[in-house]
Amino acid sequence: MKRLLVALVLFCAAAFSQSSAPTTVVVKAGRLLDVKTGQYQSNVAIVIESGIIKGVGPAGNASVPAGAKVVDLGNATVLPGLVDAHTHLTYDVGDVGLKGLTISPEREALVGAANARITLMAGFTTVRNVGASAFADVALRDSINDGHVPGPRMLVSGPALSISGGHADENLLPWEDHKYADGVADGVDAVQHKVRDNIKYGADVIKFMATGGVMSKGDNPQASQYTLEEMKVIVSEAHRLGRKVAAHAHGVQGIMWATEAGVDSIEHGTYINDEAIALMKQHGTYLVPTVYLTEWLPQNADRIGIPPYVRAKMDVVLPLLRKNIQHAFASGVKVAFGTDAAVYQHGLNGHEFASYVDLGMTPLQAIQTSTVAAPDLLGWADKIGSLAPGKYGDLIAVSGDPLKDITELQRVKFVMKGGEIYKDEFHKQ
């Protein structure tokens, strides 16, 4: 009954009024960025049929089918839709500590509907959602796919796996409540079952907590949580069932054990060192570094009510994350774009690009973490990440040149997903 109620509320409260996209859409742009080469093509036409790109070429040579919708973006710069490989759409900024205990899964689904729209309007047409209570992210993904709410394409994990008392468990209630979070599993048999359970209920990807975290009580970000044996079972079971694996990992031992176990990505990587970097490069493991939160969170911690036990950890962890991630960038580890949005406000995802540039990347390298690396990490490189025939008609546009000013990606003016326009500030009445 609860599921039916949530579905009805989502449909009624968040249904959007956009009309169905025409079968064929032709987008004309003053310049298009080839995100792989960093070269611009001038005066380009992108032909999209039934949401899929059919052709990209000079606008002067484009044949516009009868009845097609033509969208002329003038001198705007067009890029593929952006990808964020680390979001939490069903959570809101400040939902930590005791406040989090007041939020039901039904409320999380509604919060997710709002945040999905905000994220799409920021230019992110695909996200990987790595952690949500009670499979609220599965419900959100399915509602977006069914057209009930606007939002990005989503790959979702459901509840993240955690040890008892670890990051992602419920550590704020007294003993007599006997409360454990949805993803808690201890021991080889239990983690194997939990992976299968998450997949049963709709998970596209498996997320587990290899170490403690920052936004939780009673755990240590440096300490590994699962044993290497448990991690190997999580990864092997997920991979056998066709799911990739993301490991939340701050401490170096957790980073190395998760990498050795075969995870596809390390999230955060605060205490990463040369030994861990070498191992990740050997295994081809992606780093998803979530850097902008190191700037936003200290400035806003008091305003959003960060508890003292979180503040004590973040004051240590955040400066180290910036320092060590900068070293990891310079050392050539593979990097996929991720923000941890929900730790800060949804819609600010584009600020992550400038943070990468501040730590040593070129603007093109920063853009490639989202448009080349993240699609590869997600296993969707054949669907998203570039504007080429056969891929989804997902694109964004900005006024200026993001290769000269990366902050242009904080001011996305036009968003199209699957050939349908969701945002257009170039043609406001």
Residue with tokens 């973490």: 369
Distance separating alpha carbons of residues 335 and 208, to the nearest angstrom: 19
Q: Which residues of the chain have pLDDT under 50?
A: 1, 4-19
DSSP one-letter code for 123: T
Domains and CATH numbers, the chain: 24-80+386-424 (2.30.40.10), 82-378 (3.20.20.140)
Token pair for 255: 């980073």
How far apart are the C-alpha atoms of 124 and 199, rounded to whole Å? 25
- Interior CA angle at 102 toward 96 and 103, to 5°? 80
What span, in angstroms and rounded, lies between the C-alpha atoms of 349 and 362? 18
Give the residue among 26, 54, 51, 31 at the shortest CA–CA distance from 41: 31
DSSP structural state of residue 97: G
pLDDT value at position 94? 81
Give CB contacts under 8 A, 24+ apart, made by 59-62: 59/28, 62/26, 62/28
Q: Evaluate whether 349 touches 119 at the Cβ level (below 8 Å).
A: yes
Dump pLDDT digits (tens) for 318-333. 999 999 999 999 999 9
For residue 94, CA distances in Å to 97, 158, 275, 344, 407 come to 8, 20, 35, 8, 25
- To the question of pTM greater than 0.75 for the whole model, the response is yes
- Positions annotated as catalytic residues are 207, 340
What secondary structure does DSSP assign to 226-277, as a single string? S-HHHHHHHHHHHHHTT-EEEEEE-SHHHHHHHHHHT-SEEEE-TT--HHHH
100-134 tens-digit pLDDT: 788 888 899 999 999 999 999 999 999 999 999 99
- pLDDT of amino acid 12: 45
Q: How far apart are CA 313 and CA 309, in angstroms?
A: 7
Q: How far is CA 130 from CA 32, 38, 142, 144, in A?
A: 31, 30, 16, 17
DSSP states along 49-62? ETTEEEEEEEGGG-
Beta bridge partners of 41: 32
Phi and psi for 53 in degrees, rounded to 5?
Answer: -70, 130
The pLDDT value given to residue 429:
55
Sign, CA dihedral 361-260-166-186, equals positive
pLDDT for residue 11? 46
